[in-house]
């Protein structure tokens, strides 16, 4: 990874940029099977369910989490197919979370398309999310591993706790870095960790290997979310598929804001306080916020933090043999970080 | 049960009215243990979670579903305590559903108190519901029965389908009785059925006994919901803890409306069409609707349908030995029906 000096974002050459191609090639066959399970199991005799779920599921997501389950199984040279159903269960949990998140945030755009809550209303999004969440447990029960059920039911509870914690922290400029890390560790990284860890369970590996994959997924998840939160101040709808400045207008205290607030002078702090409280929502205010984030090095240092967690993810793979799978998982980390620019 | 002539509601003498006392006495010790599990497992390091969940959980619900699990276990003379945790899991699923329902319906009152969505907002209600739902699966996983997990994960998916189906039928006067029965069978009766059935699983009884308890719970659940839907046109906030006419104003096509619409003349049908479409929402409109429901015998016949399902519930207990538990379960059915008046 390229070193950066504080306050200075190094643009990455798109030609040489890390990509998801290696991991996608690694798991291509398995993902066809996972996609079949997803399409099959989102069906219902109530037509609105596959219609709404299909909008989000077919809507261009990368399916990072099931890809990770499959790639970790490749890393362990697991020869079976049990993990296909479980990877679909993980994606259903994620999809249910997205549906509920968009209701909670009142979001209008995701992955470059109108959100389900805008098209079908909040009620339908809440209830179809509940359906997918239930369906994910049905899939896990069919697999029959109580250990997998334990890991994923715990991850689900932790995700919900993280979402509630984020809601509580919203519009509170006092939120500090460690509180923020707790939140993203719960709302994002817990499911990445579980997605990776369950592959070691189906492959019947020991606790150490389970926890190594858990650590890989968890650190990757944190890096992923840090980059997401940096992107929110540095994207437009066309590139990232959602509206820039959503977090700013929602009063979400993400790491860029925490750093800029901590490093700012009295005027800057007054601005951030007012902005997070919801009193600065114009395009000019967002432009001023972005300028402060750049001047204080907050965006660059959020990316530096992301690289730190990315490196920890890569190092967690240390115990596993080198090869195609490890290289693909390593490049997935680099991709998660580089996708910002 | 007293026979009624169509169009004529027989008031039940409150002194001689069936009560929940026998079932409550039967399961009192077990319910203390269930309540401890509920209070213990709704905790979280995020204070908003127990605060919001506690508002609803401590808010005077009868805990019908966990009581049924415990009473059915008594019927089977199951000597263990495994079902205490599972009964708490059932109550968590129910509580999560209530939290999401109140968001979906925009309800302001439940059990005579302001709803959580009014006090803490829709977002918090959605997310705390998700937490309780996840927690319920954690409890089931701790118990470790894949059969129970299968029954309750399936019930959860069916509930969500029922809720979506209800949403789709809303404001559609074309909804017929069989469609309505499908909806309440899913949104209400499936969890009653599962709550009863799992007691046979922990007591290791055969499929026939499992399905007998399933049938008891399912028919009781249908009767319970039919009565609820009749009450909605015949209660005030003081007696039932929610606002009379909520279904009317929400355009929910419940059995009373289906019968009154089917039996009405052209003017009546025009009124119901307009009302269900949302064009008749005044107190006078509600009074007119209630008058039509009485004149056509729709309320009385909804109660007659409830008695039919109540009788089926009682008959499903046929294979089990007479005694205190069977008497209590029988009186619980009579209570569910008689609570209307």
- Average model confidence (pLDDT) for chain A? 92
- The larger pLDDT score, comparing residue A194 to residue B339, is at A194
Contact call for B149 and A153, based on CB within 8 A: no
Query: How far apart are the C-alpha atoms of A113 and B50, rounded to whole Å?
Result: 36
Nearest to B144 among A49, A127, A146 (CB): A146
At B242 the pLDDT is: 62
Q: What is the mean pLDDT of residues A286-295?
A: 95
Instruction: List chain B residues with CB under 8 Å of A45.
Output: 161
Instruction: List chain A residues with CB under 8 Å of B134.
Output: 153, 156-157, 159-160
- Would the pLDDT of B7 be above 70? no
Write the pLDDT tens digit of every residue in B197-234.
999 999 999 999 999 999 999 999 999 999 999 999 97
At A245 the pLDDT is: 87
At B133 the pLDDT is: 98
At B192 the pLDDT is: 98
Q: What is the mean pLDDT of residues B112-130?
A: 96
At B262 the pLDDT is: 97
Contact call for A150 and B131, based on CB within 8 A: no
- The CB density around residue B160, as the number of other CB atoms within 10 Å, is 28
Q: What is the mean pLDDT of residues B29-39?
A: 97
Q: What is the mean pLDDT of residues A155-180?
A: 97
At B23 the pLDDT is: 97
At B339 the pLDDT is: 78
- Average model confidence (pLDDT) for chain B? 92
Tokens of A124: 């339908």
State the DSSP code for B187: I
B124 reaches A (C-beta below 8 A):
yes
Residues 6+ apart with CB under 8 A from A15: none
- Check if the interface score ipTM surpasses 0.85: yes
- Would the pLDDT of B8 be above 60? no
Give the pLDDT band of residue B10 (cuts 50, 70, 90): very low
Contact call for A160 and B131, based on CB within 8 A: yes
The residues pairing with B109 across neighbouring beta strands, listed in sequence order, are B114
- Would the pLDDT of B4 be above 80? no
- Would the pLDDT of B147 be above 90? yes
Query: For helices A82-105 and B122-143, what crossing angle results, to 10°?
Result: 160
Give the pLDDT band of residue B16 (cuts 50, 70, 90): confident
- Would the pLDDT of A174 be above 70? yes
Give the pLDDT band of residue B14 (cuts 50, 70, 90): very low
Q: Chain A: residue nearest B149 by CA?
A: A141
At A4 the pLDDT is: 37
Write the pLDDT tens digit of every residue in B55-89.
998 887 889 999 999 999 999 999 999 999 999 99
At A242 the pLDDT is: 62
Of B158, B230, B243, B209, residue with least CA distance to B316: B209
Give the pLDDT band of residue B156 (cuts 50, 70, 90): very high
Write the pLDDT tens digit of every residue in A54-93.
999 888 788 999 999 999 999 999 999 999 999 999 999 9
Instruction: List chain B residues with CB under 8 Å of A128.
Output: 160, 164
Give the pLDDT band of residue A339 (cuts 50, 70, 90): confident
Query: How far apart are the C-alpha atoms of A59 and A37, rounded to whole Å?
Result: 17
- Would the pLDDT of A332 be above 70? yes
- Would the pLDDT of A3 be above 70? no
Q: Are B221 and B191 in contact (CB under 8 A)?
A: yes
- Would the pLDDT of B181 be above 60? yes
Contact call for A124 and B167, based on CB within 8 A: yes
- Would the pLDDT of A11 be above 50? no
Q: Residue B315: enclosing H or E segment and its boundaries?
A: helix B298-316
- Would the pLDDT of B127 be above 70? yes
B122 reaches A (C-beta below 8 A):
yes
Write the pLDDT tens digit of every residue in B295-316.
999 999 999 999 999 999 999 9
Q: Which CA distances in Å does A242 have to A129, A231, A278, A338, B17?
A: 20, 10, 20, 18, 59
Task: Name the one residue in this structure whose structure tokens are 């309750």.
Answer: B152
Write the pLDDT tens digit of every residue in A30-55.
999 999 999 999 999 999 999 999 99
Give the pLDDT band of residue A241 (cuts 50, 70, 90): low
At B1 the pLDDT is: 36
Nearest to B160 among A134, A160, A168 (CB): A134
CATH 1.10.600.10 fits A21-338, yes or no: yes
Chain B nearest CA to A31, separation (Å) = 25
Give the pLDDT band of residue A237 (cuts 50, 70, 90): very low
Residue ranges covered by each domain of chain A: 21-338
């Amino acid at each position: 990874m390229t070193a950066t000096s504080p306050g200075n974002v190094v643009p990455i050459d798109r030609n040489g940029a890390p990509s998801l191609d290696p991991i996608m090639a690694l798991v291509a066959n398995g993902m066809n099977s996972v996609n079949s399970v997803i399409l099959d199991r989102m069906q219902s005799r109530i037509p609105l369910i596959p219609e709404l779920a299909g909008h989000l599921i077919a809507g261009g997501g990368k399916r990072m989490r099931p890809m990770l389950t499959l790639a970790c199984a490749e890393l362990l040279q697991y020869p079976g197919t049990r993990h296909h159903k479980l990877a679909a269960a993980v994606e259903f949990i994620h999809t249910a979370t997205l549906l509920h998140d968009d209701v909670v945030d009142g979001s209008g755009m995701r992955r470059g398309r109108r959100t389900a809550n805008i098209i079908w209303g909040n009620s339908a999004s809440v209830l179809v999310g509940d359906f997918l969440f239930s369906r994910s447990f049905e899939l896990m029960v069919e697999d029959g591993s109580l250990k997998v059920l334990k890991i994923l039911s715990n991850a689900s509870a932790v995700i919900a706790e993280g979402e509630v914690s984020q809601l509580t922290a919203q519009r509170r400029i006092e939120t500090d870095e460690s509180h923020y890390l707790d939140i993203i560790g719960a709302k994002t990284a817990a499911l990445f960790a579980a997605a990776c860890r369950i592959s070691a369970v189906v492959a019947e590996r020991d606790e150490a290997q389970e926890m190594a994959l858990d650590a890989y997924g968890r650190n990757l998840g944190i890096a992923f979310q840090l980059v997401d939160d940096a992107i929110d101040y540095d994207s437009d709808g066309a590139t990232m598929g959602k509206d820039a400045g959503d977090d700013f207008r929602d009063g979400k205290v993400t790491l860029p804001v925490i750093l800029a607030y901590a490093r700012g002078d009295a005027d800057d702090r007054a601005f951030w306080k007012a902005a997070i409280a919801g009193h600065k929502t114009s395009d000019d205010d967002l432009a001023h916020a972005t300028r402060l984030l750049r001047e204080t090095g907050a965006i660059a240092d959020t990316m530096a933090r992301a690289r730190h967690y990315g490196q920890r993810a890569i190092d967690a793979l240390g115990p596993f043999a080198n090869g195609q799978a490890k290289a693909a998982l390593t490049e997935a980390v680099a991709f998660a970080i580089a996708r910002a620019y």
